[in-house]
Amino acid sequence: MANNLLTIFLVPEVSLSILAICSLMYGLFSKKNAFIKTTNFATLSLLIVAVLIYFDFNTTFASFDNYFLNNSFTKFFKILTAIGAAASLVISKNYFIDSKINKFEIPTLLLFSTLGMMLMISAKDLMIMYLAIELQSLSLYVVAAIKRNSLESAESGVKYFVLGALSSGILLYGFSLVYGFTGQTSFEGIYQSLSQIDKLPIGLVFGLVFVLVGLAFKVSAVPFHMWTPDVYEGAPTSITAFFAIVPKLAATALIFRFCLEPFGNFDFEWTQVIFFLSVASMFLGAVAAIAQKNLKRLLAYSSIGHVGYVLIALVAANDQGIKSASIYMFIYLLMNIAFFSILLSLKKADVFVEKIDDLNGLSKSNPLISLSIAIIMLSMAGIPPFMGFFGKLYVFIAAVESQLYLLAILGVLASVVSAFYYLRIIKGMYFDEASHTESFEFIITNHAKIILTVVMFIITFFIFYPSLLTNIVVGISLN
Amino acid sequence: MTDIPLLSLTIFLPLLGAVVILLIKEDKSSVDNIRKVALCTSIGVFLLSLLIWLQFDNSKAEYQFQEKIRWFSDFNFYYHIGIDGISLFMVILSTFLTSLCILASWESIKIRVKEYMLAFLFLETVMIGMFASVDILLFYIFFEAVLIPMYLIIGIWGGDRRIYASFKFFLYTLLGSVLMLIAIVVIYKLTNSMSIADLQGNYFSTNIQMYLWLAFFASFAVKIPMWPFHTWLPDAHVEAPTSGSVILAGVLLKMGGYGFIRFSLGMLPEASEFFAPLIMTLSIIAVVYTSLVAIAQTDIKKLIAYSSVAHMGLVTIGIFIVNSQGLEGAMIQMISHGVVSGALFLCVGVIYDRMHTREIKFYGGLVNRMPIYSTVFMIFMLGSVGLPGTSGFIGEFLIIVGSFKYSSIVVIGAASGIILSAVYMLYLYKRIIFGVINNEKLKDILDLNLREKIILIPLAIAVLLIGIFPNIFIEPMRLSLDLIISNYELVNGK
């Protein structure tokens, strides 16, 4: 037992929760530069946790009486979550300080939120799942509204909270129905009790749909996406970066696991729902983004579109789908890190760039930055030879494997529509003249610069050595 | 075979040049260095491609200069490249026109020279890579990547409506090609292979072939372009800078014809047989209709753009009659059109650089001031019409001979297109070159300078060379084409 007591600290979630509390203390008791210190501490903690997850010291111990799952899939997503959170802290540090919201609570809250996400990814029981979702959401509600004196930020926080609470309510109702009809809360128990029947009772179908609706809120799939553009736009950009990069990973992992584990035998029930969510997200994400003028809103719709593509892999409901989704989310993470690290460093006339028109004429003064943005945009649009194309390719491979030709065709058609608004940004940078004479300023910390360089390098040159990623992903499965 | 990976070197040398240019800082004094590096690179690539031709073995039907490296660890996607008779001249055409284009934009491109040269060298890599791909996924990646530099070339250095034209070009061709992606994934899932060489034959059931054929048709019909999918072409041509138009007409349109031969005929013979009447109908409409439209044009570039659609109509006729005359004719017609229409666009560029207008009405009587220009222009004009002795004649003649075996209605359609091409080209020539100079502004127009001569004379030689010694070009491609034809005839029981 003594051995166990020591090794408990090697369980990533345990150490993360301890580190999060330490970070709170550290912030409270440091008199000067509390924000910078806690941010550095939080970044370091996340990296430590990523290493702990990677080396995976004590798997059986971590299952806590079968409440948590630990396998290649959860491991992959948890590492992505930790790294994504760390990266988003590093790239947004300057922005926080510059816009005077350098409160030490932010990194701490983000740590707690990350903890919630890791638990979400691993949850193997409805109760744990709910608690994890709430832990992650509550922290995020606060940070969305952290810029107290800004009306927009407060509005986005409240909006996020109200809609989030609504979705939690629906989710909980779904849970209660599932529990009522199966008498189980653990994923395995539900699976066992469902294996004796051929057809889901109508109440259980309702429960399943309610849970899916709740989860669709979290991944912001259409028609439960309404909060996304407003929150993205209203929250400070640095918080938006976190929203765009990290919580999507956890929510996606959870929706995959919830569909494929307890309800794995009833895929014909939930694939219809997910099919609709997927198509609606792809097309609404593509069409609604066309009219946007604000870059953050555009990014919100773009992320809705990306969710649609990941859900194609879920509809496929096969092993390839899980691998494809992992690849897609990895690529999505990199593209967002790259784009936000630029957005958080680019100033025009002493104000951070937020409108699409603000980028006009960027290619003349900052050729390298505009080339990077162009590559990210083409990659998001799924134009080869950049990395984003391969994410789409893998998703379509999974879809074709399950004979989902219609879904695949709808997917590529939506990608053509979405190409329009990605191209519009390139058009602004390269074809248009700058509307004002104010020059651009690109202020970036060294660490963020390293991240940006590495990520851009991967996005651009992935085509030359794709095995780097596929070798990892080949081993990923839910079993 | 040598140990040097000649083909990879040809593909990636332009990228190397691009990296060098990237390192040069652009200012007034170094602009010429940027141009020189780009020119040297492209000439080097052209010489390499000639070396490939020199070492090419005419007695082999299959791919030569093959290189195959594992690319993805979880799927059978390979970095697999090679050259056969069908792709050989496409590669040479790309390298030839790129070097001329870089030379042609020496003075006409004044802003953002560095980005321009980068885009052009990237474009060259992508074009060569596409024609040299044996792996279908690799082919697709290059096929779509072409859009990026072309979008920038039209959008940054184009005319007044460049933004509209660049978006239309990008989205239209993207819409066509994405369906091909699904078809490619389906092919992979059915056969577990991505090699063009392995899939030549008849590996798919008739039903699946139909769907796959339609998906490929969507992308190639937009690219080549066939009537009624051609509307992006006049816009893109008119707005693009001269060298952009040259590459667009000279090489990018050929990607469609090349795809039809490789994929539709080679892999989906049953469906090709089934859909051949559709292609014939659309092609005849294209030939007659766009020729008539060309007659009515007032913009020189637009006229040549419509004539391209008509000429490509002949190419699709030649491809889908599937006999050796037809296919060889289609290949020669593609090469010839690449040279001739490229040259015509360059000729338009010459007078556009001087007068900054492309209105036919503006000109007239140029022969009085520009005798050399008029002579060179005449060679290309006659090449486009298909006068015996020029490259156009060989292609058109072979296509007409081949289509007699198919149906005499097709012959009438194709032949009427040739007659109409004489109408619009000669009419154009008459209006621009002959007569007396009425326009005051044309009084001081200068004849070709040395740089322009260096650009146009090789093209004129190429037109005559193909016209007089067509066998040099037909011989290497014959066996590769025969392989496709014999497979096609075997499958369809002919």
In terms of pLDDT, which residue wins out, A329 or A437? Answer: A329
> Do residue B182 and residue A408 have CB atoms under 8 angstroms apart?
yes
- Give the mean model confidence (pLDDT) for residues A55-69: 70
In terms of pLDDT, which residue wins out, A75 or B109? Answer: A75
DSSP B463: H
In B, minimum Cα distance to A420 occurs at: B171
Query: Contact B216/B136 with Cβ under 8 angstroms?
Result: no
Exposed e or buried b per residue across B274-292, where buried means at least 16 C-beta atoms within 10 angstroms of its C-beta: ebbeebbebbbebbbbbbe
Query: Contact A303/A228 with Cβ under 8 angstroms?
Result: yes
Distance from CA of B179 to the nearest CA of A (A): 7
Q: Taking CB atoms and an 8 Å cutoff, what residues of chain A touch B176? A: none
> Do residue A409 and residue B182 have CB atoms under 8 angstroms apart?
yes
Q: Residue A133: what pLDDT?
A: 94
> Do residue A383 and residue B145 have CB atoms under 8 angstroms apart?
yes
Q: Taking CB atoms and an 8 Å cutoff, what residues of chain A touch B113? A: none
Q: Residue A2: what pLDDT?
A: 47
Query: Closest partner residue to B145 among A384, A400, A430, by Cβ?
Result: A384
In terms of pLDDT, which residue wins out, B261 or A435? Answer: B261
Distance from CA of B482 to the nearest CA of A (A): 33
Query: Closest partner residue to A427 among B71, B142, B163, by Cβ?
Result: B163
B282 strand-pairing partners:
none
pLDDT in tens, A153-177: 888 999 999 999 999 999 999 999 9
Q: Taking CB atoms and an 8 Å cutoff, what residues of chain B touch A415? A: 178
User: What is the pTM (predicted TM-score) of this model?
Assistant: 0.94
Q: Is residue A130 predicted with pLDDT exceeding 80?
A: yes
In A, minimum Cα distance to B116 occurs at: A430
In B, minimum Cα distance to A474 occurs at: B74
Q: Mean of the per-residue pLDDT values for chain B?
A: 91
Q: Is residue A68 predicted with pLDDT exceeding 90?
A: no
Query: Which positions in chain B have a beta carbon within 8 angstroms of at least one beta carbon in chain A?
Result: 70-75, 115, 137, 140-142, 144-145, 147-148, 151-152, 155-156, 162-163, 166-167, 170-171, 174-175, 178-179, 181-182, 185-186, 188-189
Query: Which positions in chain A have a beta carbon within 8 angstroms of at least one beta carbon in chain B?
Result: 323, 363, 367, 378, 383-385, 389, 393, 396-397, 400-401, 405, 408-409, 412-413, 415-416, 419-420, 423, 426-427, 430-431, 463, 466-467, 470-471, 473-474
In A, minimum Cα distance to B154 occurs at: A431
Query: Contact A370/A378 with Cβ under 8 angstroms?
Result: no
pLDDT in tens, A194-231: 988 888 899 999 999 999 999 999 999 989 999 999 99
- Share above pLDDT 70 across residues of chain B, in percent, rounded to a whole number: 99
Q: Residue A437: what pLDDT?
A: 67
pLDDT in tens, B320-376: 998 899 999 999 999 999 999 999 999 999 989 888 888 888 888 888 888 999 999
Q: Is residue B383 predicted with pLDDT exceeding 80?
A: yes
Query: Closest partner residue to A470 among B72, B148, B162, by Cβ?
Result: B72
Burial zone of B228 (CB within 10 Å; 0-12 exposed, 13-18 middle, 19+ buried): exposed
d(CA B141, CA A464): 12
Query: Contact A220/A307 with Cβ under 8 angstroms?
Result: yes
> Do residue A415 and residue B178 have CB atoms under 8 angstroms apart?
yes
- Give the mean model confidence (pLDDT) for residues B190-208: 89
Query: Closest partner residue to A400 among B74, B162, B186, by Cβ?
Result: B186
Residue of B8, B25, B74 to mutate, testing the A interface (most A Cβ within 10 Å of its Cβ): B74
d(CA A287, CA A309): 15
Q: Residue B110: what pLDDT?
A: 84
Distance from CA of A463 to the nearest CA of B (A): 9
d(CA A350, CA B483): 66
Q: Which two tokens stand for residue B235?
A: 């816009």
Q: Residue A439: what pLDDT?
A: 82
pLDDT in tens, A450-472: 999 999 999 999 999 998 888 88
- Share above pLDDT 90 across residues of chain A, in percent, rounded to a whole number: 67
> Do residue A420 and residue B144 have CB atoms under 8 angstroms apart?
no
Distance from CA of A83 to the nearest CA of B (A): 25
> Do residue B73 and residue A474 have CB atoms under 8 angstroms apart?
yes
Query: Closest partner residue to B179 among A383, A412, A420, by Cβ?
Result: A412
- Share above pLDDT 70 across residues of chain A, in percent, rounded to a whole number: 96
Identity of residue B34 = I
Of chain A, the end-to-end C-alpha distance in Å amounts to: 29
Q: Taking CB atoms and an 8 Å cutoff, what residues of chain A touch B148? A: 378, 383
Query: Closest partner residue to A412 among B115, B167, B181, by Cβ?
Result: B181
pLDDT in tens, B396-450: 999 999 998 888 899 998 889 889 999 999 999 999 888 888 888 888 888 888 9
DSSP A432: S
Distance from CA of A402 to the nearest CA of B (A): 10
Distance from CA of B125 to the nearest CA of A (A): 12
Q: Is residue B174 predicted with pLDDT exceeding 50?
A: yes
> Do residue B167 and residue A470 have CB atoms under 8 angstroms apart?
no
pLDDT in tens, B26-70: 788 888 899 999 999 999 999 999 999 999 988 888 898 999 999
In B, minimum Cα distance to A408 occurs at: B182
**SS3 for B67?**
strand
Size of interface A-B (CB pairs under 8 A): 90
Q: Is residue B1 predicted with pLDDT exceeding 70?
A: no
Residue of B23, B26, B72 to mutate, testing the A interface (most A Cβ within 10 Å of its Cβ): B72
CA distances from B72 to A390, A402, A465 (A): 11, 21, 8
Q: Taking CB atoms and an 8 Å cutoff, what residues of chain A touch B155? A: 427, 430-431
Residue of A396, A401, A423 to mutate, testing the B interface (most B Cβ within 10 Å of its Cβ): A423
DSSP B265: I
Q: Mean of the per-residue pLDDT values for chain A?
A: 90
Query: Closest partner residue to B182 among A396, A419, A466, by Cβ?
Result: A396
- Give the mean model confidence (pLDDT) for residues B202-221: 92
Among the listed residues B56, B99, B90, B47, the one whose alpha carbon sits nearest the alpha carbon of residue B459: B99
Q: Taking CB atoms and an 8 Å cutoff, what residues of chain B touch A396? A: 181-182, 185
Q: Is residue A63 predicted with pLDDT exceeding 80?
A: no
In A, minimum Cα distance to B118 occurs at: A371
DSSP codes joined into one string, B151-218: HHHHHHH--TTHHHHHHHHHHHHHHHHHHHHHHHHHHHHHHS--BHHHH-S--S-HHHHHHHHHHHHH
- Give the mean model confidence (pLDDT) for residues A339-348: 92
Among the listed residues A221, A205, A339, A360, the one whose alpha carbon sits nearest the alpha carbon of residue A268: A205
Domain boundaries, chain B: 6-491
pLDDT in tens, B242-271: 999 999 999 999 999 999 999 999 999 999
Residue of A376, A387, A429, A430 to mutate, testing the B interface (most B Cβ within 10 Å of its Cβ): A430
> Do residue A423 and residue B148 have CB atoms under 8 angstroms apart?
no
Domain boundaries, chain A: 2-473
In A, minimum Cα distance to B76 occurs at: A467
pLDDT in tens, B212-231: 999 999 999 999 989 889 99
> Do residue B185 and residue A400 have CB atoms under 8 angstroms apart?
yes
Distance from CA of A409 to the nearest CA of B (A): 7
Q: Write down the H helix ranges in A246-318.
A: 247-260, 267-290, 295-316
Q: Residue A81: what pLDDT?
A: 95
